Amino acid sequence: MARKLKYYPSVALNAGDFDGQIDFVRVFGRTGPVHVEIGCGKATFLLNEARAHCHWNFVGIEKAGRYYRHSVDRIGRWGLSNVRIVGAEASQFLADSVPDNSVDCFHIYFPDPWPKRRHHKRRFFCAANVEHLIRCLKPGGDIRIATDYVEYFDQIRAVLKIYGTRLEQVDFAPTAGADEGEWVGTNFERKYLKDERPIYTVALRKK
């Protein structure tokens, strides 16, 4: 029998918690670097990074209800006060709720590739969303991306190339939770590596 997931109000971040655009200082009760993961899944990355960087503030965005509930439960059970989970569609949340120049780093690991051509319009990486990522980033802030899907990776690079005057490529260093041979240490990455799929990464910095 599956364990019942617990809801932790201190972890879940709802639209009613802020008026209009989000104030990260108010949400976390402190200043500090803000890292946002788009599509946090079961929060493996957030858990490891938040434990390793207790002075950083983390926000995970997850639209899938079951993963959202799992993430809230997992972060709450660990008692991590520097993580909040938002149950929302990332594109809309960025457009409506995240202020200009407020985020230090966006983490986008193994986004849904929507492999069928008729579904490509649902992919997160498009010009409109990249515009919002750049707008929300502080100068010197990073966008970090990992995927196992080479065709989507090629599309991502093509979209990002348009912003070459505003973004510069930087090294992609493994995250705190990555084991030997891994980049980010998420559940998806470990599954794909077990299947011997190559992992493609890129990191960019706002000029």
112 catalytic per annotation: yes
Query: Phi and psi for 56 in degrees, rounded to 5?
Result: -95, 155
Q: How far is CA 119 from CA 97, 116, 124, 129, in A?
A: 26, 5, 11, 17
* Cβ atoms within 10 Å, residue 66: 10
Nearest to 134 by CA among 36, 205, 57, 31: 205
* Active-site choice (17, 73, 112, 154): 112
Residue 12: in which H helix or E strand, if any? strand 12-13
Tell which residue, 75, 76, 72, 74, has the closest CA to residue 86.
72
* Neighbour-count burial of 38, counting CB atoms closer than 10 A to its CB (0-12 exposed, 13-18 middle, 19+ buried): buried
CA atoms within 13 A on the CB side of 2: 5
By annotation, the residues acting in catalysis are: 112
